[in-house]
A and B are shown apart, each in its own frame.
Chain A
């Protein structure tokens, strides 16, 4: 059962996404902010991280940058979730080291495809 770390500050999104992902058979670990995400990533060692970019205090780009700078967590694929319609956010996310991105509102089918692909790629590596 692949483990996904969901980093999301919005309660509704968190609830909805986690429930739907659980229905798809993933085990879900939830972080409310960047700090928590960093610590959970190293203790829980998830197979994949879903990262909301617009987080309070430390934004998703910064969290990703730190994850990717850490040898222990570098290998974990990160899918950025950008709510903004602005391009720059996505570019920022990719530059920060995210492996893929998707926009909010989440189109669940597409997102789960991306998750599936990322996990396959990871396995292949």
Chain B
């Protein structure tokens, strides 16, 4: 363990002891040195004094060359334990007398000749040279040698005392510092313990106790403050965490609730869809069942009417006409109900084509002529100059206007009905506006609210007075919606009404929305009305080019593909109006392409003209081809066939879904108008009589 990593307590003790020991040692050492130096000085003086005394005492002996006396004088030094040797030299430098405390040491250390007076330290010995004089005459030289025994003894003793002192004071310093270091280390250790407790048990409620108001005191204060902060945050965090968990639980519950609700909704939706499907099927069947007897009623009454013209009375003809018109009316109602149920089931689709607005208006006016004349109304038609062609579902546009005009005729007596058509541009889109204005009974504000709802007539008395199902405007409204148009009405009771219909000049299929649920997967495919698409499937590039050029001249978009697979794929994607198909192709041959086309419910209605060198017409027709041409192709014949299919398609398309019925109702309404003349006349009569 290095010094730095010692505990604070040990560090403090160590520092205290080191400091005190160093101070003590230094002071002891300086004291010792000073004492030893001054003691040596004293010893030197003492030895010099002895040399003087002995020199004086032995001066007579020297003068008389009395060696024994000199030796006796020197022997008196025996009492001085530290004198090792004493020698008297004659003035010529030879030894005259000598004394040795221990004879053995003599030869080694004794200088053989006298030297200058004075003192010097030779190793462990102090030597003093002194001139022996008598009455100013130098008689010889005295040499004294001391081993400074006292000095070394004193030094040893002093060192011993110092050592003991240092030991004792060290021990005392240890005791004192051990006690006193607690003042510093105590709070730190306490802080450390507190900190350990906090981190080990995550217990933020403990606090360190502040002992003194020193730096450590403020450190503890800071620590406690920090701890409180942490505790507060911890509490807040715990609270937030609890809340989060509660919320999560709530959310989970909510999610499972929603899921259940969603499942139930899905179930309900499924049930509703099933019910709706069942309803549609029921309606379709029902309408069929209703039509069959109606067919007989209308047919027989027509037949009888024809026969009655020749033979029977006028009354019979009129009665038969009444039966017939009632039957027609019933048929129109059935058609309306079926239309509406189709719209509701999302099965009403749009069949777009480009047509001339004026032609359509003219047709409607002709059809409605009897209805207009019936109540002695006058019809004004005004078409703006710029109204030309529009792209829409002509059958539906026709029915919209027909319904509005029929209503106008129905609710107006001896008045004016006008049709205004003009064109405008809003946000880059062309719109056609049809306004049907009458001077009839009008509609009150309250009646307007439910005007476009099914089975709701302006009020029940109207049903009694004017008849009708109340479906006309609802169907009109739905048709307008289908074409992304809008319809509005302005009216003053008693003064008349104005119905305004806006329909895009270019109705787009993709704008139809839920109607595409009918099964058109490629909602993005925009039908180009002026140019229909023909798909040519042939592996021979020359044929493809010829057909492309030829059919292009006839006014079609031509798509050519070299393989059966590609042809099938494109047919699905593009839905061409017609397909020409080769038989001998690599991979999927013409027979199998034809089989697949006819097996696909969506493609089976596309007419296929086989164009091939294989002479197997029965097989082609059996598999469902419309026509069979053998190469080289007779273009004239191909053109005729295509034109025929185009016409058929036109019938089919206009007929699809709504058209036949609309056409029927169309025609029937015309007659209905006739019939209503008689029906209404009675109403009119009633009215006049009431008046």
Contacts and interface: CB of A to CB of B under 8 A. Distances in A.
A87 interface: yes
Nearest to A103: B660
Nearest to B294: A105
A95 B536 CA distance: 19
A85 B338 CA distance: 9
Given A85-B288, A95-B607, A105-B298, A23 B651 contact: no
B306 A20 contact: yes
Interface in B392-448: none
B652 interface: yes
Interface in A62-91: 68-69, 83-87, 90-91
A85 B288 CA distance: 7
How extensive is the interface on chain B, given as a class?
Answer: 35 or more
A77 to B, nearest CB: 12
A13 B299 contact: yes
A95 B655 CA distance: 15
A44 to B, nearest CB: 23
Centre residue among A84, A87, A104 by max chain B CB count within 10 A: A87
Interface residues of A, number: 29
Contacts of A83: 288, 291-292, 295
Contact of B331 (A23, A84, A105): A105
Contacts of A13: 295-296, 299
Contacts of A16: 296, 299-300, 303
A104 B295 contact: yes
Contact of A105 (B284, B295, B626, B657): B295
Contacts of A85: 284, 287-288, 338, 660-661
Contact of B288 (A84, A90, A106, A110): A84
Interface in A1-50: 10, 12-13, 16-17, 19-20, 23
B667 A107 contact: yes
Given A101-B651, A108-B302, A95 B291 contact: no
A97 interface: yes
Contacts of B607: 95
Contacts of A106: 295, 299
B604 A95 contact: yes
B664 interface: yes
B473 to A, nearest CB: 22
Contact of A90 (B295, B302, B655): B655
Contacts of B287: 85
Interface string B323-353: 0000000010000001000000000000000
Interface string B646-688: 0010011001110011001001100000000000000000000
B288 A20 contact: no
A51 B292 CA distance: 16
Interface string B302-316: 110011000000000
Interface in B176-191: none
Contact of B626 (A69, A90, A95): A95
A107 B331 CA distance: 12
Interface stretch (B34-42, B85-93, B617-625): B617-625
A69 B621 contact: yes
B605 interface: yes
Nearest to A107: B667
Contacts of B302: 20, 108
Contacts of A110: 667
A94 interface: yes
B652 A94 contact: yes
Contacts of A87: 652, 655-657
Given A16-B303, A20-B303, A103 B664 contact: yes
A83 B285 CA distance: 11
A80 to B, nearest CB: 11
B663 to A, nearest CB: 8
Contact of A17 (B299, B307, B626): B299
Centre residue among B287, B299, B338, B668 by max chain A CB count within 10 A: B299
A94 B452 CA distance: 37
Contact of B299 (A68, A97, A103, A108): A108
A108 B655 CA distance: 18
Contacts of B624: 95
A107 B295 contact: no
Contacts of A107: 664, 667-668
Contacts of A17: 299
Contacts of A100: 651
A19 B656 CA distance: 31
B605 A91 contact: yes
Contacts of A20: 299, 302-303, 306
Contacts of A91: 605, 652, 656
B347 to A, nearest CB: 10
Contacts of A86: 284
A74 B80 CA distance: 173
A107 B667 CA distance: 9
Interface in B593-624: 604-605, 607, 618, 621-622, 624
A116 to B, nearest CB: 16
A69 B622 contact: yes
Nearest to B300: A16
A103 B287 CA distance: 13
Contacts of B291: 83, 104-105
A101 B656 CA distance: 12
Contacts of A69: 618, 621-622
A10 B296 CA distance: 10
Nearest to A96: B624
A86 B652 CA distance: 12
Contacts of B660: 85, 90, 103
Closest 8 CB pairs of A and B: A105-B295, A16-B299, A91-B605, A12-B296, A103-B660, A87-B656, A20-B303, A87-B657
Interface of B: 284, 287-288, 291-292, 294-296, 298-300, 302-303, 306-307, 331, 338, 604-605, 607, 618, 621-622, 624, 626, 648, 651-652, 655-657, 660-661, 664, 667-668
Interface of A: 10, 12-13, 16-17, 19-20, 23, 68-69, 83-87, 90-91, 94-95, 97, 100-101, 103-108, 110
12 contacts: A12-B296, A12-B300, A13-B295, A20-B302, A20-B306, A68-B621, A85-B284, A85-B288, A101-B651, A107-B664, A108-B299, A110-B667
Given A20-B306, A97-B626, 18 more contacts: A13-B299, A16-B296, A16-B299, A16-B300, A19-B303, A69-B622, A83-B291, A84-B288, A85-B284, A87-B656, A90-B660, A94-B651, A95-B607, A95-B626, A101-B651, A103-B661, A108-B299, A110-B667
